[in-house]
Amino acid sequence: MISYRQPGILLTDRHFTVPLDHADPAGEQLELYGREVVASGRAGADLPWLVYLEGGPGIGARRFIGKQAWLGRAVQEYRVLLLDQRGTGRSTPQNRQTLPLRGGPEAQADYLAHFRADSIVRDCETIRPQLTGGAPWTVLGQSFGGFCATNYLSTAPEGLRTVIVSGGLPALDATADDVYRAAYPRIQRKVEAHYDRYPQDVRRARRIAEHLAEHRPVLPGGYLLTPEAFQSLGILLGGTDGSHQLHYLLEDAFVRTGQGHELSDAFQQGVLAVLSYAAHPLYAVLHEAIYAQGAQPTAWAAERVRGEFPQFDAAKTLAGDGPLLFTGESIHPWHFEVDPALRPLRETAELLAARTDWPPVYDPARLAANAVPVAAAVYHDDMYVDTEHSLRTARTIRGLRTWVTDEYEHDGVRASGPRVLDRLLALARDDA
């Protein structure tokens, strides 16, 4: 183990070995990585553990510097494990470079079927005794991390001391179609709110989309910026300062050159930073699979359901005079055409979208008998996770206490500093 310091904290690199398939513990193994964080001067203290499960899917644990965001509050009383979930960060990363080692697309799809919430929770239960000596620990789940925490409550509650969820109470039985059917109206409200705040962006967004429809520019690195890809910038609107980020990006879109107006280098680089999946390809490959349970394939649900909302069709919008609607957290087949980080994984993604043997992720009966203290922040009109779905699940989990708030967007636990985590810990302890 290697330890090192940042302001106010001591960090230690932790490495673990877990089975690829927990039903076959003697089979192929994966290497997992976690970063232990403890307050300076408390390294030798007997502290309870908190494991952080990042949002996603397919995104490694956030790389904090010192006591940023909620971490400063957590290390007041916990030893924290920032776990890179399997396939992410330093935990046997899976991407266009590494997945060909598995074989062809069919082998890759079979392999990635082991990278959902249920396997992540089994990983946690394999790791926990090594760190805690068998004692239960606290789980903090942000977004998809909350989906994992809900699976944890369904399958291994004996490993849990407390569960804290931020913006991540999933629907227990909704299909991917149900999720996106609820999402598109919510996304539209976020876009309309953005245009109310920045009315000048209505004209700017249309002008950019018209330029893209005519020129189809290729960004640095080979990303093909189509009008549909441009619409995906709406993913920013689910964050606390996302509307402002989008506005500043749009206002720098064009520069005058000897050949007329062209997309500025600054705009192209800014767009690429938001849209490229090079750093987290599993987010795209597995996104709809996180909702899959049973024999019904996801079958590119976001793309199919979008057909029920023609106001999101860029070509139809540009043929008329209405405002261009951005989209949000949705993955479409064309993502695997425009993004060079995803192109080699297109057939693998197709096979996962057609898969019909997904095991159940949640156990409503066990959740109804829950005895673990649970508190969840539900962000009002959260763009990424439907509020009504979350509240319905909250009513299912026995003893769960909710904090419904419109003070923050989906990233409240990060954007609020210590406040959201402090409030949720108090709720879980019945101190608030």
Residues known to be catalytic: 143, 357, 410
Phi, psi of 427, deg, nearest 5: -65, -45
Per the CB < 8 A criterion, the answer to whether 211 and 318 are in contact is no
Work out the widest C-alpha separation in the chain, in whole angstroms.
Answer: 70
**How far is Cα 63 from Cα 55, in angstroms, rounded to an integer?**
13
**How far is Cα 205 from Cα 246, in angstroms, rounded to an integer?**
10
**How far is Cα 297 from Cα 299, in angstroms, rounded to an integer?**
5
- Long-range own/partner contacts, residues 126-134 (CB < 8 A, 24 or more apart): 126/16, 126/18, 126/19, 126/22, 127/16, 127/18, 127/32, 127/34, 127/51, 127/81, 127/83, 128/49, 128/51, 128/159, 130/16, 131/14, 131/49, 131/81, 132/48, 132/49
**Secondary structure in 3-state letters for 6-25:** ECCEEEEEEEEEEECCCCCC
Peptide bond preceding 93 in cis form (omega within 30 of 0): no
Cβ-in-10-Å burial (0-12, 13-18, 19+) of 339 comes to buried
Burial profile 306-324: b = 16 or more Cβ within 10 angstroms, e = fewer: beebeebbbeebbeeeebb
What length does the chain have?
432
- Residue in the structure block whose two tokens are 């924290």: 80
Say which residues have a Cβ less than 8 Å from residue 130's Cβ, sequence separation at least 6.
16
**How far is Cα 198 from Cα 248, in angstroms, rounded to an integer?**
10
**How far is Cα 404 from Cα 254, in angstroms, rounded to an integer?**
41
Q: At what angle do helices 346-353 and 105-112 cross, to 10 degrees?
A: 60
Query: Could you count the other beta carbons within 10 Å of the beta carbon of residue 222?
Result: 12
Could you give the C-alpha distances from 334 to 62, 89, 183, 205, 238, in angstroms and in order? Answer: 28, 25, 19, 20, 22
Cα-atom radius of gyration of the chain, to the nearest Å? 22
